[in-house]
Every structure is written in C-alpha cells, then in structure tokens.
Amino acid sequence: MRGRFVVTLERLLRGTRVYFSDIGIIALMLALGFTILTIVIAVVGAVRELPQAVLSAKRAVLVVAGFLVVAAAALVASFLTHDFGVKYVAEQSSLSMPWYFTSAAFYGGQEGSLLYWALMLGIFSAIFVFTSWRAPAKLVPYVLATLMFIEGFFLIVLVTVSNPFVRTLNPPQDGNGLNPLLMDPGMLVHPPMLLMGYMSFAMPFAFAVAALISGELKNDWLRSIRRWTLASWTIQTGGLLLGSWWAYHVLGWGGYWGWDPVENAALLPWLTSTAFLHSTMVQERRGMLKVWNMCLVIASFALSIFGTFEVRSGIISSVHSFAYSDIGGYFFAFLAVIILFSIGLFFFRLPKLKAEQEFDSVVSREGVFLLNNLMLLGITFATLWGTLFPLISQTIRKQTMTVGAPFYNSVNGPLFAVLILAMGVGPLLAWRRTSLNALWRNLSVPAILAAICAVILPLLGVTNVLANIGFSVCAFTGMAILYELWRGARVRHAHGEPYVKAVYMLFKRYRQRYGGYIVHLGLVFLALGVVGSHFFQIQKDVTLKSGQEAELGGYRFVYLGNLQSYGDDQQSVTSQMQIWQNGSLLSYIYPGRTMYKNFDDQPASQISISTFGLTDLYVFLGDWQGPSQATIRIFVNPLVPLVWWGGMLMLLGGVLCWWPEARKRVVYGRRSTSLPKTSALVEDKGVVA
C-alpha cells in the first residue's frame, strides 16, 4: 500500500495520468493519519486540560471527514466513468447499468459498504464538532478520541484487507454487473439507511465511554445523548422498514419478515436502543437504572458492529448477504476490544453508578418501564440465540442446525404481546405508585374496549384464539394512547383552546412525550398488520394455460399468456393476468422474471402486488413454458398495508421526538441567550393522577 501511495505521488509530480482511484487511496491514507493524530491530541488535551489541544482535535476531525468525502467521491466517480481497472468497480457494475444503479453499486459490495460506514461516521463526528457546545466540556475530548478510534479501525481495514481502490493489471472491457437482487429501487435507499443506522450507534457509545473515563456519570451525559440516540433509533427504524419493504417486493416468498439472520442482526441494536430510550427516563426522573442504562448503550453499539460484520462477512448464510471475505478475524478482534475495554471501564466506575432511589411500587410508571425493558431484552436474547445457533451447532457438533421462523414466532410472539400491552399501561400510571382508584380510572376505558373486541371478533369469524388475543391487546393499547391524547386536549380545552388547537399545542410544547405516543400508535398498527398477515394469509400454486383461471380468497385470477423481451445483457418474461371480484374487473397485473448476463442462476422477480382496501394480492411468476403456460404462486395477505402505515407513523413519531425544541430569546441587559421553551421536567408532567 505504501508503494501505491508513492507511485501516485510520483504521477502527480510528473503530471502523468492520475486515476480517481489514486486520489481515493491517498485520501484514505491521509484520513487514517489524521485519525491517529486526533486521538493523540484529544487525549493529551483531556489529561492536561489544554483547551487549545481540544480545539485542534476538533479541527482534525473535520479534516478526517473531508478526506473521507474525497475518497467516497473518488469511488463514485470511478463507477460513473466505468473505470474497470478498479477491481471493485468491475465486480459491482457494468456498462449497461443505468447511472443510478451504477452510483448505488458504491455500497453494493463489502469494500464500498465499509467506506460508506466510515464516511458516515466522519460526517456524524463533524456534526458533533459543530454541536459540541451542548455537551459537558469534560466529555468532548474523550468523545472525539472514541469516535476516531472506531474510525481508525475501519480505515485500517480499508487501506489493507478491504481496499475499494485496488487496480487490476488487465482491466476487462465490461464489468460483471450488480447482483440482480439489488437491481431494485429499494437498493437506492435500504442499504445506506441500514448501514447508517449501524454506524449511528457509535455516537451514544462514545458519550458513554467518555462519561466512564472522565467519571462524569451524573445525568448530564444522558441529556447529551438523548437526541443522538433518538436519531440512531429513527434511522435504524427506517432501515428496518425499508428492508422489510425490499424483501416483500423483491424476494417473492410472500412475506416481509422471515427471521433471516441478517434481518435479526439489524433488529438487535434497535431493541436495545428502544429499551435504553425508555429506561433513561427512569434515571433522569428517579436516579435509578444507571447500571442498566450503561449496559444498554454498550450493548447497542456492540450489536451494531456484530450486524455490520454479519451483513458483509457471509459467516452466516442469508439472502441479504452479498459479500463474502476474510475480514471476519478483524471484526472479531475489534468487537472483542470494544467489549473488554467497555467492561473494564464499567467495573472501574461501578461504585459511581449506584441508584439514588429504590422502587416504591411495581404498579408505577417506572415499574412498567422496567417490564418493558425486560420484554425487549428477552426478545433480544432469543433472537441473538437463534441467529448464532447455527454457528454454535457447527462448532460443537460439527453440523449446522438452523433455527426457523416457528421458533421466533413462538418465543417472541408472546413477549411482543406483553410489550405492546405495557405500552398502553405505562403512560396511564403515575411515577412512584398508582392508587387502585387511579388505576381503575385510567385503565377502565381501554380495558372495556379490549373486552368488547375480544367478544365481538369471534362473532365476526376470527376463531383463532391467538389472533383474537393479538387484536384485543392492540385494541387496548391503541385506545389507551388515544384516551391519553384526548385527556390532554380536554385539559387545554377547559382553558379556552379549541380541540384542534389543543392537540396541536400538545405536540408543539411536549414534543418528546406525544411524539412517543405516535411511535407507540404506529407500532400498534404494525402489530395489527403482522397479526392479520401471519394468521390469515392464504396461498395457492397453480399451473395455467392461456384463458384458464384460478380462485383464491374471493378473487378470480385469469391468465392471458406470456410476453418475452430481450436487452443487451438481460432477457425478461412477463405474464399477463386479470383480477376479478364479484363479476367486476379490478385490474391487469404483470408478474415476471428477468435474467441478467453473468447471473443466469439468480433471476430477479417482478412481483405484482395489488392493494384493495387492507388486503394485498401478491402474485409471483414461478415458472413458464413458452408463450402460453405459466406456474403462478398467489398470496392473499390481509392487513399488510397496516405494516407500512404503522412504520411510517413510527418514523414520524421518531422525527417529532428528535426535532429540536423551539427556543426563545431571554434578554439580560445587553446580553441575550436562547433557552428551550420547555424543559424535560415540564414535558414529563402529564395529566395522569
């Protein structure tokens, strides 16, 4: 690598041709150098209390971010100019690919995705530099050093074993092309969102490490990372939602979540960060769960590194894994360093993490928050165990034993049901303890609605007991959220505000509280979609000739024949079909398959998904014989649209919680300052008795 660096410099000095890849490798090596420099300067500035050194470290972080932007731009330029002399470009793109897929190939493989990870960490670190005035001064240099330590690991991997700018001596005339499963619009948004979500958990982790090193373990560090954690949670939620949508529209198996190992890996840090966001309120309000919160922050980042490793190492077989390499040892070593270093710091500062108060009653808001955390950690453990079990079985018994969806559904299903129930109960309880009268007054309306739902559903044909329980739990929690919103609006209406304005002011003044309710309501909608599609999905495989038809779920599917088309590097077959119901033509649909050059064994599916009301008709072309016969797989998926609506509500709620509070100017003589309109303490005051 040093030789490549020297050769590139000689080209620059002689004025001979310099490739974008040459600029990229120089930028990566300079970024690595400044990363090491930042760590040294930041630590010296913290230990010797030198403000100028800390300022220099901040500037060095900006330089690192700048070089990473240059490196990323150089890789994108290599793709857009079709520089197949770059091995990574030749492997991930081809001349026939449209420019947007060519650009997206930047993160289509291992090398590019690791560069994207490092790039986003550099950008987030730069954002922290510009907003560091909000953080306690003693934490800032340690946060910078921690972020650059993480950045340094990725840069070392990038300039040694996983370099995206390696050139070949005999470049091909055309590239191999992108994996067909990634030739989808979802490719443009799903992978970068998910990788950004993994990366973003480095920010709360850096604050936790800084607090442990400096000994500043009061609530200031928690307040400093609240918005960073909310941003991480929202980004990861978006990544999970987009991943589900991609799987539903591309893979052709009729579902959106199959408990695939890579799906599980993305879910794990989301679960622990969700637990942290809830338990941190208990620490800020009551001074409790300090040890618990520190463990959750560390676990979230460790699981994000595990997820990044699993997606790009290929150590566990998955339809979501598109890169296989030998970087596993590096990631295991890094993960081990992170865990051992964090555990050492944790036990060193354990005496300072003692709780300030104890639980007064189980029937309290903090009691429900603790139950919420236990359910989330239970789901995390079960999911992690199921994900790692094939590796464990291979190591111990020398044979690979997989864990399927039935295990996850039977274990995590009841835990999620209790979790959703706790979401409805928690906001209606008071801190410390709730009297029986207040408990009945706050829970009676949602409980009565849930009971009515449980009685009516069997009369409407829902005979599955588990589905009935799921719908009733969702009814209870949904009503509890709406009831709490109505009570807040009623209080403001009693002071003269119209109801519409009262609701608007609740969200404006208490954004985190009511944004959280939107998240909970979105999860209720999502859960309704999951229950409906899981218990009531119906499927049928049929082989039809032109003019023949099939019926399923009250819909009639008429097959009209196949059309074939050919391109420069692909060929496609499309089946023409009609959907009828009650004698009326609803729509024409065109399920199909596309075969790409160099990927004959991986045809991409063009799945037809037609939504009528709250039901998806999902049609997949399995096989075909000539122009007049096809094997079709049909799914009727009830309530699946609620999954996407619920996910969008969760994202909206996450953004509302994260969005900065409006600030007002307070003037003191000739000086002025900006203060939040509402404090966390005021925000937490609800109308719960």
pLDDT value at residue 673: 45
Q: What is the C-alpha to C-alpha distance for residues 448 and 443, in angstroms, rounded to an integer? A: 9
pLDDT value at residue 667: 45
- Residue 605 phi/psi, 5-degree rounding, is -100, 140
Residue 92: CB atoms within 10 A of its CB come to 29
pLDDT value at residue 64: 97
Rg (C-alpha) for the chain, rounded Å, is 27
pLDDT value at residue 10: 56
Q: What is the C-alpha to C-alpha distance for residues 412 and 425, in angstroms, rounded to an integer? A: 20
Q: What is the C-alpha to C-alpha distance for residues 527 and 420, in angstroms, rounded to an integer? A: 9
pLDDT digits (tens, 9 = 90+) for 449-461: 999 999 998 988 8
Comparing CA positions, the residue from 283, 410, 303, 419 lying closest to residue 353 is 283
Contacts of 40 (CB under 8 A, 6+ apart): none
Contacts of 69 (CB under 8 A, 6+ apart): 119, 122, 123
pLDDT value at residue 12: 55
Structure tokens at 257: 């979540």
Distances (CA, A) of 92 to 21, 84, 178: 15, 10, 5
pTM greater than the 0.85 cutoff: yes
pLDDT value at residue 186: 73
Mean pLDDT in order along the chain per 10 residues (689 residues): 54 63 93 96 93 95 97 93 91 85 84 93 96 90 96 94 89 83 77 90 95 88 89 94 90 88 91 93 84 93 88 58 64 91 93 79 82 94 89 75 86 94 86 79 87 90 91 94 89 87 88 91 96 94 93 94 82 92 93 80 84 94 89 95 96 89 50 42 35
- Write the burial class of residue 100 (CB in 10 Å: 0-12 exposed, 13-18 middle, 19+ buried): exposed
Q: What is the C-alpha to C-alpha distance for residues 549 and 556, in angstroms, rounded to an integer? A: 7
Residue 586 carries which DSSP code?
E
Amino acid identity at 258 = G
Q: What is the C-alpha to C-alpha distance for residues 97 and 177, in angstroms, rounded to an integer? A: 7
What's domain 179-359's architecture?
A: Up-down Bundle (1.20)
| Sequence spans of domains, the chain | 1-177, 179-359, 435-509+659-683, 536-642
- The helix/strand/coil state of 664 is strand
Are the CB atoms for 179 and 210 separated by under 8 Å? no
pLDDT value at residue 662: 57
- Write the burial class of residue 446 (CB in 10 Å: 0-12 exposed, 13-18 middle, 19+ buried): buried
Structure tokens at 149: 């330590």
Residue linked to tokens 């953080």: 135
